[in-house]
């Protein structure tokens, strides 16, 4: 539908690959729902006013004919007249390469998203898309019968072959977000055949995809890079082993533990649990599983004792001997401890009626190491352990 009389119509001289397809162009005043058949695609181009035909196509045509989809293309949706469009549409696509589009998106979020934390998360996604100079599809008004598991999608211009991909932003608490937490750390490789097809892209496109993969840890929370399954090779990582995670993995493991804390603990407990998790990953005497679920003490021969000063002063040698004694009190047995269970036990206040649990005796030894690495007393609430 041609909606702006001041602009020329689009030429209709491009070929249609399927002979069953038929393309019709009308002025907005000529449009009626009786002219379209089921599964038609209707596009209202360059909308400058909210015409009655648009509201009827969205409210009635898309649900009852039903139309395949209705697109409403507008240069500005933040004015009083155009803002009504955002109440009708289920999705809004922003061209985030301009500041005007970013302002429009932020204006919509301020008016339609009441949750402050969610609004901030969506603004972070928009800022990332603006930096990437790409398009962002926002799931705005979902149908109650078809709730979405995603806030939206970006990099839609990269969906064309030979190597299509996009980014999806999962809603916290949905099965998609849970999959990201459990499986998102597996090693997934692009297949050689797909890489060969990717060579047909420009150098700029290849560099952009490589940059996304390289900086995947800095993407907004619960972000997935979506590619066809046929373009991937899967190699599962070991989640548990008796070997220690290398130092290069500590930052990644710390993020996994923090994500687990956000799921397992209420927000008011994060200020106790997260600082403690940060100390756990710094303790040289601990091994941490690759999936961040368990930690345990290294065998005696593998322990790296941090030096205090140059080790020549009396006080330095005394501290070192005291530390060595504390590490020799039956800590050689390898006992895997669940990270979340441990943090929960030491950060809660024990009742005076509680009895010492068997695992707490082992926790006491672990807490003594945490104290040596600077764990705050504020975080250690359980007096029976700490």
pLDDT the model gives residue 371: 85
Q: Please tell me the distance from the alpha carbon of residue 288 to that of residue 285, in angstroms, as a whole number.
A: 10
pLDDT the model gives residue 239: 41
Is pLDDT above 80 for 335? no
pLDDT the model gives residue 373: 85
* Percent of the chain topping pLDDT 90: 3
Is pLDDT above 70 for 304? no
Is pLDDT above 70 for 319? no
**Cβ atoms of 108 and 131 closer than 8 Å:** no
Q: pLDDT for 115-156, tens place per residue?
A: 888 889 998 999 888 888 899 999 887 766 667 788 899 998
> Which residue would you say has higher pLDDT here, 76 or 153?
153
Of 15-24, 68-77, 225-234, 253-262, the one with minimum mean pLDDT is 225-234
Q: pLDDT for 185-214, tens place per residue?
A: 455 555 556 656 666 667 777 778 778 877
Q: pLDDT for 92-111, tens place per residue?
A: 888 888 887 888 888 888 88
pLDDT the model gives residue 303: 37
Enumerate the β-bridge partners of residue 45.
2
Give the H or E element holding residue 62.
helix 62-64
Give the tokens for residue 53: 């035909």
At residue 79 the predicted structure's pLDDT band, cuts being 50, 70 and 90, is: low
Q: Please tell me the distance from the alpha carbon of residue 318 to that of residue 310, in angstroms, as a whole number.
A: 13
Q: Please tell me the distance from the alpha carbon of residue 307 to that of residue 311, in angstroms, as a whole number.
A: 7
Alpha carbons within 13 angstroms on the beta-carbon side of residue 138 total 27
> Which residue would you say has higher pLDDT here, 376 or 354?
376
State the Rg of the chain over Cα. 29
pLDDT the model gives residue 325: 43
For the chain, count helices (H), then strands (E).
13, 12
How long, in residues, is the chain? Answer: 386
pLDDT the model gives residue 43: 92
pLDDT the model gives residue 154: 92
pLDDT the model gives residue 329: 35
Is pLDDT above 50 for 9? yes
Is pLDDT above 60 for 286? yes
Give the tokens for residue 79: 């004015």
Q: In what order do the strands lie in the sheet with 337-338?
A: 286-288, 294-297, 337-338
Cα distances from 194 to residues 103, 136, 163, 197, 303, in angstroms, run 37, 25, 7, 5, 44
Q: pLDDT for 157-188, tens place per residue?
A: 888 877 788 899 988 776 655 655 555 545 55
Is pLDDT above 50 for 337? yes
How would you class 347 by CB atoms within 10 Å of its CB: exposed for 0-12, middle for 13-18, buried for 19 or more?
buried
**Cβ atoms of 157 and 135 closer than 8 Å:** yes
> Which residue would you say has higher pLDDT here, 319 or 251?
251
pLDDT the model gives residue 144: 64
Find the mean pLDDT for residues 2-26. 79
pTM given for the model:
0.53
Q: pLDDT for 213-271, tens place per residue?
A: 777 777 888 888 888 766 665 554 444 344 444 555 667 788 888 888 888 888 888 88
């Amino acid at each position: 539908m041609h909606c702006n009389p001041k602009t020329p119509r689009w030429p209709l001289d491009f070929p249609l690959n399927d002979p069953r397809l038929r393309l019709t162009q009308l002025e907005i005043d000529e449009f009626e729902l009786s002219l379209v058949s089921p599964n038609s695609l209707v596009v209202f181009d360059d909308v400058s006013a909210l015409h009655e035909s648009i509201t009827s196509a969205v409210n009635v045509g898309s649900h009852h004919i039903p139309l395949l989809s209705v697109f409403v293309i507008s240069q500005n949706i933040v004015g009083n007249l155009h803002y009504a469009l955002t109440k009708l549409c289920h999705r809004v696509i922003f061209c985030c390469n301009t500041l005007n589009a970013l302002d429009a998106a932020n204006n919509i979020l301020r008016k339609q998203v009441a949750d402050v934390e969610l609004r901030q998360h969506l603004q972070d996604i928009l800022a990332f898309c603006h930096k990437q100079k790409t398009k962002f599809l926002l799931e705005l008004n979902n149908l109650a019968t078809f709730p979405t598991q995603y806030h939206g999608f970006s990099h839609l211009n990269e969906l064309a072959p030979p190597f299509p991909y996009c980014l999806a932003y999962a809603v916290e608490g949905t099965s998609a977000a849970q999959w990201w937490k459990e499986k998102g750390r597996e090693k997934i490789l692009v297949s050689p055949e797909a890489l060969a097809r990717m060579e047909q892209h420009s150098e700029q496109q290849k560099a952009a995809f490589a940059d996304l993969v390289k900086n995947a840890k800095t993407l907004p929370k619960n972000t997935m890079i979506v590619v066809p399954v046929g373009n991937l090779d899967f190699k599962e990582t070991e989640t548990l082993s008796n070997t220690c995670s290398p130092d290069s993995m500590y930052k990644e493991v710390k993020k996994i533990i923090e994500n687990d804390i956000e799921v397992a603990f209420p927000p008011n407990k994060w200020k106790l649990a997260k600082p403690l998790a940060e100390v756990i990953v710094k303790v040289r005497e601990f091994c941490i599983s690759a999936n961040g679920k368990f930690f345990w003490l290294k065998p005696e021969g593998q322990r790296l004792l941090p030096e205090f000063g140059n080790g020549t002063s009396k006080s330095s040698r005394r501290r070192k001997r005291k530390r060595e004694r504390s590490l020799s009190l039956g800590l050689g047995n390898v006992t895997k401890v669940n990270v979340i269970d441990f943090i929960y036990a030491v950060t809660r206040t024990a009742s005076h009626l509680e009895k010492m649990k068997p695992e707490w005796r082992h926790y006491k030894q672990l807490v003594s190491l945490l104290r040596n690495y600077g764990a705050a007393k504020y975080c250690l609430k359980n007096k029976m352990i700490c």
